[in-house]
Structure 1
Amino acid sequence: MNKRSGHEKRSPHQRNAAQKKSVRRAGKTPETSSHPRSTSPVASNGSGDSAVRINKALADAGICSRRAADELILQGAVVVNGDVVRTPGVKIVPGQDQLAVNGKVVTLQAATAKTYTYLLMHKPVEVVTTASDPEGRTTVIDLLPARYKKMRLFPVGRLDFFSEGLLLLTDDGALTHRLTHPSWHLPKTYTIRVRGDVTQDALRVMREGMTLAEGEKLAPVQVEVVKSIPQGAVLEMTLIQGINRQIRRMCRDFGLVVLSLRRIQQGPILLDDLEKGAVRSLSRSEVAALYKAVDL
């Protein structure tokens, strides 16, 4: 028997057989298996700013919605780096991890390819909630700091010319669509100073859902009298609809004159003490809360 360095020389066939035997002893499946392993894997670098949840990666790639992506994961139809994923919370790194759905590889956009801007403005009265105005009136874009004016930012929804308060601006089209689409019913809260007698009957009708003089049926609203003022009251009202000039028309139908109208909350975002005309960036947690509120 020939010996080299105290070890027996083996042929390639013997070495392959030994490797396969070692794999079986370890309870592992050889990598040549035709069936992907069912695991809850950690992606190649499933942490940090570049990592995203699988459902977001699939939504960004145009494959399906986030909710549908979670269903595909639970069905075992999603594979990451060769492993079946059955946990919706797994994160991957677009451009680095390989993702497949129902056997088809999904091309992922690198996470650094696009960043969005999210702003909160306290819109003053007599400012138009548009990017431009043919009549030459001041727009919300005119109020932005110089560094934001060159960005393609758009207001999320509208506030009347004579209304003030919380207004979101962003270049995130997917989020804007969800926030403005009526099917999501994201609540908005307002404080309204009115002149006139606010009766309990008027409050009851508003809470039950009223029909405007023009015939439009409204969903029930949350409304309370938070303060009495000379010849009137301050109301706090929460709406889930986006009917044009809804609050002003509701008050009109009960003989109330709106003296001022301010939006103080939209979904999880609060106006707080932001000064009129001022703008600030949303925090990461605020953006995440908005996404969660509209199931993105």
Structure 2
Amino acid sequence: MTSPVDVTILADLLRRAAQTEILPRFRRLGSNDVRAKTEATDLVTEADEQAERLIKAEVSTLWPEALFIGEESVAADPALLHRLQGADLAVIVDPVDGTFNFASGVPAFGVMASVVVKGETVAGIIFDPMGDDWVLAEKGGGAWLRRPDGEALRLSVAIPVALEEMVGMASTGYLPNGKRAEIMGNLAKVRFLTNYRCAAHEYRTFAGGHVHYLMYNKLMPWDHLAGTLISQEAGAYAKRFDGSPYLPHHIDGGLLITPDKASWELLRREVFTV
């Protein structure tokens, strides 16, 4: 499926926002440039807000018919999120994914965007400002690593392995009370667990074939739509915990992504018993 939004133009816009509003502020944030939102680890910076403002203005000019949903726009107006399910066309943006890392001076953050048409994700882009390249996908067109010089490399998920050999990433902070300890104990069954505090880089790592699973419980569209589509286009099996498809309007129900269905069922049964 071809996206009605030109993915190349949108990808270049994310890069320009990073170069203009994000990178100049990296490790240069003042005390008034960082604020907590819902808790001490949920941060917003001047870079987030200015980058989203730039992207939103350009999207409104290039695709005026599109509903624009940005993480910071929804923080200011939560009702905006409910318009996504009924939108004919929407562009969803996370201006700085991994804000905690960015504010801490850790070079693991990204800029993400997805395109949704009538309730279906048709394009996803993850830009790495530090590496200056994109991982992107259009539905049905595969997942690609693209560099500014035009070089492109097709991505593929890892070859499935036994449970005790699996290496992956899980975000356990939003698991239900009483379940976190159980699942953390279950994770002793796999070879390795990590968490970058940055979904952008976790999805890039998975789609590149370097890890065997991703798990998230809280689902916000700017965090997961782009990465899930990219993962699926790289060959992944992605479902919510109940086995249903992950759709753009979902904000809960968990998400487990693996190289194949058998790995998904094994991890769901043995580890992620939510």
Q: Shorter-chain TM-score: which interval?
A: under 0.3
Q: TM-score, structure 2 length as denominator? A: 0.22
Richer in helix (by share): 2
TM-score w.r.t. the length of structure 1 is 0.21
